[in-house]
Amino acid sequence: MKEFSFLIGNCPGALVEIANELKKDHVNIDGIAGLTVLEEGVISLVTDNPDTTRKKLKELNIDFEEREALVMDLPHHPGEIATILGRLKEDHINVLSIYAGVEKNKLIFTVDQLEKTKQILRLE
């Protein structure tokens, strides 16, 4: 799964153009996170079609970073995220982004040591 991160203007409707363009090509958003920093919106998203997402962002002249994202089913119990983050900390792995997916109990995250993280968390 690929994560696309980019900046957009902090104004009403700034994200709707991107969402509509993805919709036109039947691209589903599987996870999305956004927040405002100063006057910019910071967006990270994963979709079910990274090739089309990449193409659409380029067509819209949006500069973006692309990273491999990991997805985990996360039991809905107190402390589950702390357990995962603690395990990564023990191995000096830095989490670059983390957010919930649109499906219930899906955790999406990116790290600075992808293969090591996959081994530790038994993800493949």
Whichever domain contains 9, its CATH number is 3.30.2130.10
Looking at residue 10, its pLDDT comes to: 87
pLDDT, residue 118, reads 95
22 shares a domain with 61: yes
Using 50 as the pLDDT threshold, list the residues of the chain that sit under it: none
Compute the distance between CA of residue 54 and CA of residue 102 in angstroms, rounded to an integer: 20
Which one, of 94, 122, 119, 120, lies nearest residue 109 by Cα?
Answer: 94
Do 51 and 76 fall into the same domain? no
Q: Which domain holds residue 14?
A: 2-68
Confidence (pLDDT) at 115: 95
The predicted structure's pLDDT at residue 83: 94
- Kindly state whether residues 16 and 39 are assigned to the same domain: yes
Residue 124 has a pLDDT of 72
